[in-house]
Chains A and B, each alone.
Chain A
Amino acid sequence: MTREAVISVQNLMKTFGSFHAVNDISFEVYRGEIFGFLGANGAGKTTAMKMLTGLWKPTSGQATVAGHDVFTQAEKVKRSIGYMSQRFSLYADLSVKENIELFGGIYGLSTRHIREKRTELLSRLELTSSENELISALPLGWKQKLAFSVAMLHDPQIVFLDEPTGGVDPITRRQFWDLIYEAADMGKTIFVTTHYMDEAEYCDRISMMVSGKITALGTPDDLKRQFEAKDMDEVFIKVARHTQPIAQ
């Protein structure tokens, strides 16, 4: 089976002064894949993600996202991706409906298109009766589902999720992952950062970053075999311990 790469990264670097936040990383993400991007805080995963979403310019290397160069076509990159940040990304003092209209408007959707999307999205999430409620009145789990759906309002090829389940209970987290699977089944590519190791198991493939470098890459089963570990927790600890002396 030949797989089409929708994100392709070669020797990407981001340097702040003499500090290499992202140090020469290369990988590919395929269409319809759930790609987990793991690493401790400060390992460089947020920096890498900011470059791939067109927020920051890389120092050197090459990267294309949805066929667009992140150096020269940041605008086109932004148009073809959805983004949901670790901090909650809807406006709390706006109603469900107003948030949908706002983000539809920002992505340049027509009024009719937004209306259709809104009806479809609200009935799918069973939120139709709450469309005039303020976001601040919704339970956290619902807010996150809504934020995820709003990030996909403009039918992006790729959705970037930056620690989307931070601070959420395990059941809500599981429900959120159901949404992610649904999106992947529809052909969306999901690029997700997390530091929950149980969530890593849900991904098709994962990469682990330590000190700005990708030190492990593969399916969860591959990695467990490679590092002779019984679960991802152990893989992560072994990867981190193994790499630290080299990085120093």
Chain B
Amino acid sequence: MKRFAAFVTKEFYHILRDKRTLVILIGMPTVMIMLFGFAITNELKEARVAFLDHSNDPQTLAIQEKILASPYFSLSGQISTPAEIEDIFRDGQTKLVVIFENDFGQRLEKDGRANIQLIADATDPNTASTVVNYAQAIILDYARDLPPQQSPPLISVLSQMRYNPELNGVYYFVPGLIAILLMLVSAMMTSISIAREKETGTMEVLLASPMKPAQIILAKVVPYVLLSFLDAMLILTLGKFVFGVPILGSLALLLGVTLLFILLALSLGILISTVSPNQQTALLLSLMGLMLPTILLSGFIFPIENMPWPLQVISNVIPARWFIIVVKSIMLKGSGFFLLWKEILIMFGFILFFIAVSVRKFKIRLE
């Protein structure tokens, strides 16, 4: 035990004396959540909209007003001919043009139906579809408030965005961000720190000492478990108090699952270090083999359902995918253990697998 304590102390010295490590440990989570929370959002704020109004009657003006009154849109300008549509899109500011047909108000009163055309700038497809959806929702809302006609619309759709009614981007990013940072801190940092001992030759000295290999590895990862856990707490706290991301489910379960994922990431880090002779290889393997797939294929940025099937199959072996599902369910839906045991079991499976492979690799090297 004393051996272990001496070794863990040394590991803390390493971490605390290396400024780069400290920046990654403390700076990275803070900067990332601020970036994702404030700057990078999918949600719409004051998208510029232009109107081409062929009828200019009370009804079209009311719709215009209703659109502009929402926080999602602001006025780009009024145009009077279809030819101007092209010009107003070209300057890049305007995202949407709303066109009202001739005699809009009269037709609406007489026939109970009138046409509006929405033209969106689809150079950015995500924004375009969001803009169109929002505008449609506002117009439908207007139509619902009209006095009932003799021939009412046959079908009306009422949609509700459950669990994240304002479609707040931070809700969606916090779980993914935790996954990525834990991968970074636990897997990348441990693999690099173990590889560093190999590179400098101190690993040989340690192996020639009475400490068992398993003890050495365990003592090396203990500080990272602690620091990763603090990082996860930091993100959750910032998410909750700065951005108001709710934690509806059990906090204990959430922290337990987080700890499980930390162990998973550490076992991956150990596996990487067993195959890397030096720090550079460890860094490259972590970045290419862990960070990129975690960011791209875990469902953090791109929805898994929209991927081509080969990528969907691959995403099954990305550990972060399961963690993100579990964390989202606990935080946003308040799901309990009995709904999530399958994903949790899969994470356990990953840990056992990675540790088994690492031990095997290590034994081969000793024999």
Contact = CB atoms under 8 A, between A and B. Distances in A.
Interface stretch (A24-32, A88-96, A119-127): A88-96
Contacts, number: 77
A57 interface: yes
Contacts of B360: none
B17 A93 contact: yes
A245 B205 CA distance: 37
Interface in B1-39: 2-3, 5-7, 9-10, 13-14, 17-18
SS class, residues of chain A in contact with chain B: loop
Contact of A88 (B6, B7, B200): B200
B366 A55 contact: yes
B201 interface: yes
Contacts of B308: none
Interface residues of A, number: 31
Contacts of B206: 106
Contact of B210 (A89, A102, A107): A107
Contacts of B307: none
A53 B208 contact: yes
Interface size, B (range) = 20 to 34
B341 to A, nearest CB: 41
B210 A105 contact: no
B263 to A, nearest CB: 25
A98 B10 contact: yes
A107 B7 contact: no
A55 B201 contact: no
Contacts of A101: 6, 9
Nearest to B211: A106
A57 B367 contact: yes
B156 to A, nearest CB: 68
B217 to A, nearest CB: 14
A48 interface: no
A50 to B, nearest CB: 9
B70 interface: no
A160 B204 CA distance: 12
A227 interface: no
B208 A56 contact: no
Given A102-B7, A104-B6, A105-B2, A94 B208 contact: no
Interface of B: 2-3, 5-7, 9-10, 13-14, 17-18, 200-202, 204-212, 366-367
